[in-house]
Amino acid sequence: MATFAVTYAYSDSTSAGRDTVRPAHVEFLKAQFDGGRLLKSGPFGPEESPGALLIIDGDTKADVEALMDQDPFHQAGLIEERTVRQWNIFFGADAAQPAAAQTAAQN
């Protein structure tokens, strides 16, 4: 499986709708976390524009898009913009290969 970075951008005008749908959104995300697809997620900080970052395991970008189409926030039209980008982890416990080996391979 590959790793994907999904970003959500919210409009201030959807705040009340997000509050209403949030329990179903959290339940959806918890199910993805419990199933091993959602690795990390959370909203951006208070000084940032409203939105969130989700790190998802998936076979393909289309696979992740189809999964995230099931998010109640998406289904309710509460996400102003969503991006899905494959993320090649270079450093960290989830790196495909150690960073030193990747650097050597690039040289």
The reported pLDDT for the residue numbered 37 is 98
Residue 43 scores a pLDDT above 80 = yes
The alpha carbon dihedral of 89, 82, 17, 31 has a sign of: negative
Residue 32's alpha-carbon distances to 24, 39, 44, 88, 93, in angstroms, are 13, 9, 20, 21, 20
Q: Pick from 59, 55, 51, 66: which is nearest to 89 by CA?
A: 55
Half-sphere exposure of 104 (CA within 13 A, CB side): 5
pLDDT digits over 22-36, tens only? 999 999 999 999 999
pLDDT in tens, 50-97: 999 999 999 999 999 999 999 999 999 999 999 999 999 999 877 876
- Predicted TM-score of the model (pTM): 0.86
**The pLDDT value given to residue 94:** 76
Q: How confident is the model at residue 103 (pLDDT cuts 50, 70, 90)?
A: low
